[in-house]
Amino acid sequence: MRIGELSERTGTSRRLLRYYEEQGLIVSQRCENGYRSYDESSVDRVGQVRGLLDAGLPTRIIKQILPCLDKPRVIHFRDATPEMLALLEHERDRMTERANFLLRNRDAISAYLDEVRANAGAPR
């Protein structure tokens, strides 16, 4: 598929898809005419990138952890330097913290909404 279709299917602008590629987050083949060509798996990949980006991780980090999240897990022992492992552990912990923080705050928002609803229509 070409960039237009991928853009539509992922809800991501063409500009951004090119940017992600430039940042090494996604890859594409090139047709003879120079057009980018993507396969089906790119849809998921873009979704993953967007999710991580939305979660606050910078492309720099995403680029490093993405290989570890590939579907048919291929362990990249070459990449598994101590530094890389340390980075991964660190990011894993940060992700846990973030997730818990988000859930706590989400619960607080829920509680607020419940309270407001319980008083709906009641006098202040």
Partner DNA sequence: TCGAACCCTCACACAAATGTGAGGGTCAAC
Partner DNA sequence: GTTGACCCTCACATTTGTGTGAGGGTTCGA
14 binds DNA (CB under 7 A): yes
Q: How far apart are CA 13 and CA 4, in angstroms?
A: 9
Applying CB under 7 A, the span of 8-16, 40-48, 68-76, 97-105 interacting with DNA comes to 8-16
- Contact pick of 9, 10, 36, 107 for DNA (by CB under 7 A): 36
Applying CB under 7 A, the span of 52-60, 67-75, 80-88, 110-118 interacting with DNA comes to 52-60
Applying CB under 7 A, the span of 40-48, 57-65, 94-102, 113-121 interacting with DNA comes to 57-65
Q: Are 28 and 42 in contact (CB under 8 A)?
A: yes
Give, for 77, the enclosing helix (H) or strand (E): none
Q: Are 5 and 13 in contact (CB under 8 A)?
A: no
Q: How far is CA 27 from CA 19, 69, 79, 87, 112, in A?
A: 11, 15, 19, 23, 44
> Which residues of the chain form contacts with its own copies (CB under 8 A)?
48, 51-52, 54-56, 65, 68-69, 73, 75, 77, 80, 85, 88-89, 91-92, 95-96, 98-103, 105-106, 108-113, 115-116, 119, 124
